Structure 1
Amino acid sequence: MSILVLNSGSSSLKFALLDPESGEVGLSGLAERLGTPEAAVRLERGGERQTRTLAGGSYAEAFGVLLTELAAFGLRDAVSAVGHRIVHGGERFSAPVRLTPEVLDAVRACIPLAPLHNPANLAGVEAAQRAFPELPHVGVFDTAFHQTMPPVAYRYAVPEAWYREHGVRRYGFHGTSHAYVAERAAELLGRPLAELRLVTAHLGNGSSVCAVDGGKSVDSSMGLTPLEGLVMGTRSGDLDPGLHEYVAGQTGLALGGVMRALNKESGLLGLSGLTNDMRELEAAAEGGHAGARLALDVFVYRLARYVAAMGVALGRIDALVFTGGIGENSALVRSRTLERLGLLGFGVDEAANARTVRGEAGHISAQGRVPVLVVPTNEELMIARQTAQVVAEAGQE
């Protein structure tokens, strides 16, 4: 069985054709900067990489490149199902589901909760269903993993009618990544996932921390939207809700302008005044750039604070797991975060931490301390496995 996994964004398309059991990838690629003259698709097959420029820069053109490449390598007929990453499923979806017309209507109903993401996800589903009308299509939701959070973790202290009538609550995101690395961490620790209480930290341009108890999410740093929680690349993370009115009054910005600034101009970029790229910030901080140092300090502080907070949800922390672009690559972020968490029994083996490179899992905790792991995430493989499971269960029925 080969599953085609699609992650359709507002200006990108990430895809992979892979075997859900072995994880072997037949073809993968990423189309970026869609809608601009710089749009291009980077392809990889068997270790060979190629780039295709996109004359029009449209999503349809990028999807057409995917279909052409599948046909060129004789892989199109090998596709047995299509798995789609969908960001927001609200309270309706707590597991992957077959994408029927009714389900797609429910996804559309969640657009107000994810106005930038769900429309792009739906566009990807529609394009794929036209290309592969005979195949099953499965939706895997970022929010589904967190539907096991208890009310004490997901409810806001706001009027009940806001929750009951408008779905105002904490949902959490990056669920596929948190679920995958929790499973891998259990394997690396040699212990059953069901008995472990883990904190997983998915750190990238978007970042979140999750408390995983027995393989189930019981709390997350993200909330109604992906804006809540940690400092991120361009997102502010937690702030005083009164800020919106204050900034609007001081600057003359409308609410939409304030929200755009909090999503696109804040976080590491806003603090540093330089960049949202952690690699560049680390280099600039080492060179004495005050804004870069501040951004790094705030990022680490907020991260350590949230890891500690997840201990409240879990009762104990059996291991901490770093993943995502920053989590897998920044030895400095990991080391400085663990330094702040010494009161919880964490300590870093600096040599092991420095040796850990992208794509490799490993232990970085000091001997006798709470285990800390670096685990590369693989959301595509997780989506493929969940898609295959939904298809198999439907076949049994």
Structure 2
Amino acid sequence: MTRVLVLNTGSSSLKYRLFDGEETVTKGLVEEVEDHEEALREAVGGLPLDNLDAVGHRVVHGGADFTAPTLIDDDVVRTIERLIPLAPLHNPANLAGIATARKLLPDVPQVAVFDTAFHSTLPLEASTYAIDTVTARENHIRRYGFHGTSHAYVSRRTAALIGKKPEHTNVITLHLGNGASACAVEGGRSVATSMGLSPLEGLVMGTRSGSLDPAIIFHLHRVGGLSLDEIDDLLNKRSGLRGLAGVSDMREVERRRGEGDEAAALAFAVYTRRIKELVGSYYAVLGRVDAITFTAGVGENAATVRAAALAGLGALGIEVDADRNAAPERGERVVSSTDSRVVVCVVPTDEELEIATQARAVLNG
């Protein structure tokens, strides 16, 4: 069996999981990290790393340079460094984890697995923004998409759940966590996704606004007097559910909504309507939809979100079964009615297993 250590290095956290094949040997989370090298030394010091075959690193942004998992060398590191302006909060932390792991485990192959890579199959008309092409090219502006490891894993598991091969399956995947994104997967390939140049575009999220009129930014600057940094902070950290309801956790939004809180009710309605709008548009893009799958913290656990997001879509062959949807079961399951032409699924995501799988594929050529 191939032993792979998966590292997800954030700005102040380190998440690790050691796999032997697809089985988890051990896993852990180090929070409030100030020194990534010290944190990683502490984490790997007690791990059984004999016969380790590879280290798989989550890297958020691969730009247009990386369209597949990639064996890390000095040139790859330099390219990821060059992409920092596209992901200034994430790529530096990812690079810190890579540098430390290469130092501590110099004889073990290191593989970068990019959140953006799954979406490299987007057709040009899906990845191109309608701005001046020279300006876009000079500034690397295009739709990149994110949560790629999750969408890849979940779409493949969905195909298995409904008894089809991935290459013959069209799926709309809804990754609904604190960050949220939708993806249209046609025959195993991403053909549309909601996040864009950055993870800010698309669905309403815990603290991010999702899509909005770009003129709002100019208005806030010219009329509201906010600086660009203040607008950045507003849209990324003080918007979404938090901006509408005062809290970013959907569980608390639902609790307050149940108590009659109007702000929470509006936040819930805005959140689920945006999902419904994207489901409809991706249905049009795909032409035929075999399944719609919910995943991540909200998608896997919030039955009310699933029901509201797909309510009224019977004409499209989408019908959620109330009892199945509300049942306490966990794991991979179908929550649509037996009459629904489109199967509605819940599939827990496993991005770390997907990273290990992709790292293993690189080793196997």
TM-score, structure 2 normalization: 0.97
Q: Mapping of 1:236-275 within 5 angstroms?
A: 236-273=209-246, 275=247
CA offset digits 1:131-151 (Å, max 9, x no partner): 100100000000000000001
Distance in 2 (alpha carbons) for counterparts of 1:107 and 1:297: 39
Distance in 2 (alpha carbons) for counterparts of 1:388 and 1:294: 45
Distance in 2 (alpha carbons) for counterparts of 1:340 and 1:230: 19
Contact map agreement 2:19 2:26 (CA 8 A) in 1 = yes
Distance in 1 (alpha carbons) for counterparts of 2:126 and 2:312: 24
Distance in 2 (alpha carbons) for counterparts of 1:99 and 1:60: 18
Structure 1 residue 257, shift from structure 2 partner: 1.0
Give the equivalent residue in structure 2 for 1:88. Answer: 61
Distance in 2 (alpha carbons) for counterparts of 1:62 and 1:343: 53
Q: Mapping of 1:1-397 within 5 angstroms?
A: 1-20=2-21, 23-35=22-34, 58-70=35-47, 75-273=48-246, 275-358=247-330, 360-369=331-340, 370-393=342-365
- Output the amino acid matched with 1:62: A
Structure 1 residue 65, shift from structure 2 partner: 2.5
Contact map agreement 1:304 1:340 (CA 8 A) in 2 = no
Distance in 1 (alpha carbons) for counterparts of 2:99 and 2:336: 46
Distance in 2 (alpha carbons) for counterparts of 1:341 and 1:129: 51
Structure 1 residue 338, shift from structure 2 partner: 1.6
**Secondary structure of 2:8's aligned partner:** strand
Structure 1 residue 385, shift from structure 2 partner: 0.8
Distance in 2 (alpha carbons) for counterparts of 1:106 and 1:241: 30
**Secondary structure of 1:332's aligned partner:** helix
CA offset digits 1:107-145 (Å, max 9, x no partner): 111111111011110011011111100100000000000
**Secondary structure of 1:390's aligned partner:** helix
CA offset digits 1:195-222 (Å, max 9, x no partner): 1111000000000000000000001011
Unpaired stretches in structure 1, ≥5 consecutive residues: 36-57
**Secondary structure of 1:263's aligned partner:** helix
Larger CA deviation: 319-328 vs 10-19 = 10-19
- Output the amino acid matched with 2:11: S
Structure 1 residue 349, shift from structure 2 partner: 1.0
Quick one: percent identity of the two aligned structures? 49
Structure 1 residue 11, shift from structure 2 partner: 1.9
Distance in 2 (alpha carbons) for counterparts of 1:221 and 1:239: 12
CA offset digits 1:274-328 (Å, max 9, x no partner): x100111111110111111111111100011111111122112111010011001
CA offset digits 1:65-84 (Å, max 9, x no partner): 212221xxxx0224221000
Structure 1 residue 33, shift from structure 2 partner: 3.6
Distance in 1 (alpha carbons) for counterparts of 2:26 and 2:61: 27
RMSD: 1.2
Contact map agreement 1:111 1:118 (CA 8 A) in 2 = yes
Distance in 2 (alpha carbons) for counterparts of 1:129 and 1:297: 47
Structure 1 residue 356, shift from structure 2 partner: 4.7
Distance in 2 (alpha carbons) for counterparts of 1:287 and 1:2: 49
Contact map agreement 2:37 2:97 (CA 8 A) in 1 = no
**Secondary structure of 1:76's aligned partner:** coil
Contact map agreement 1:97 1:390 (CA 8 A) in 2 = yes
**Secondary structure of 1:156's aligned partner:** coil
What is the total number of aligned residue pairs between the two structures?
A: 363
Distance in 2 (alpha carbons) for counterparts of 1:162 and 1:11: 34
Which contiguous aligned blocks of 4+ residues in structure 1 show a shift greater than 6 angstroms? none
Distance in 1 (alpha carbons) for counterparts of 2:337 and 2:206: 29
Contact map agreement 1:329 1:357 (CA 8 A) in 2 = no
- Output the amino acid matched with 1:143: T
Contact map agreement 2:4 2:56 (CA 8 A) in 1 = yes
CA offset digits 1:351-393 (Å, max 9, x no partner): 11112544x1100001111100000001111110110110121
Distance in 2 (alpha carbons) for counterparts of 1:137 and 1:388: 11
